[in-house]
Amino acid sequence: MRIRIALLSVFLVSIMLVPLHGQEMKKLGQCGFTFLSVKVGARATGMGEAFTVIGTGADAIFYNPAGLADMNSAKIDFVVNRTEWIAGTALNALGLAYNMGTLGKVGFSLITTDYGDIYGTSVDPESEAGYAEDGLLEDVGAYIAGISYARKLTDKFQIGGNARYAYENLSSSPIDTALTVVNETSTISYDMGTIFYPGFKSFRLGMSVRNFSTEIKYYEHNFQLPLTFNVAVGMDILDLFGENPDHSMLVDFEVVHPRDYSRRLHLGAEYSYKGIFMLRFGYKTNYDIENITAGVGLNLKGFKLNYSYGKLKDFNLVNRASIGIAF
């Protein structure tokens, strides 16, 4: 059994790392609905978004729905997240998970965006600036909402999936004096994931595919959602030194394959003392303006508070906070 586990682990890590030795062409500007690329959840982002095989309960919906299946003791898990993003924009997210026992776990999620105040302009050859101000744009925004299901197929293997409705409205734009285009569209997207426990202590490996959908269109331009494929390994590394119920150190390492960029690496760690107080650290590679993240968490009898921050180059700190309850 240990030989099989070792061979499987080596094979998986080889798949993850081999392409990193070569040159990869950066893929830019190939996706729309880019608000889906901004990650939510203070616990996950404090770990550098390395959450594919670590996430459980309602938080897992946004990264790998298979993690819902690890919701063992609680009947209901609810979380609300706030992300203060760049340039006055923000995202709000909520997740709800319900434990149906042997029938599996179901969930609901919602992410909404706040693009702040956006003022429209139009070409005006008669003005000195060459354009005219059209005033504050109304109804600009986006959201995605969906349902989730996850289940343990065996004591070592679990699967999960999301079906979500995504919508975005970027207001209207005049093409000429006779035509005004309403930049509004929507689609159905799907996520799926798996987690496998080979049987060596808490070691696990898994994968997720997020934002799979058909091609959508704004006026004459077709595009797709930011499809992302993650492969990950993780465990509580303190298991290697014997059982210690008061301390844990969860570590997650994963390779990320986004549709609209070259390959990335995420590494995250979470130290927990008695399941009450948590410290988190994350590191991400191959990002233009991101790399290190950190966060803290508090869990008092199912009432959960989490905070994370990350520095974006040439921007202020990005703050994320979440409040949750499990019972």
With CA atoms as reference, report the closest residue to 29 among 221, 214, 183: 221
Q: At 20, is the secondary structure helix, strand, or coil?
A: helix
Cα dist from 31 to 61, 96, 215, 224, 283, whole Å: 22, 28, 10, 5, 25
Domain at 2-326: CATH code: 2.40.160.40
Q: Are 59 and 40 in contact (CB under 8 A)?
A: no
The full DSSP string for 82-93 is EEE-STT-EEEE
In order along its 327 residues, the chain shows pLDDT tens digits of 554 544 455 445 545 554 444 445 566 667 889 899 999 999 999 999 999 999 999 999 999 999 999 998 899 999 999 999 988 899 999 999 999 999 999 999 999 999 887 777 777 777 777 677 777 777 788 999 999 999 999 999 999 999 999 999 887 776 666 777 778 899 999 999 999 999 999 999 999 999 999 988 777 778 889 999 999 999 999 999 988 889 999 999 999 999 988 899 999 999 999 999 999 999 999 988 888 999 999 999 999 999 999 988 777 789 999 999 999
Can you give the residue ranges of every domain in the chain? 2-326
Q: How many CB atoms lie within 10 A of CB 135?
A: 9
Q: Are 193 and 206 in contact (CB under 8 A)?
A: yes
With CA atoms as reference, report the closest residue to 57 among 37, 32, 83, 77: 77
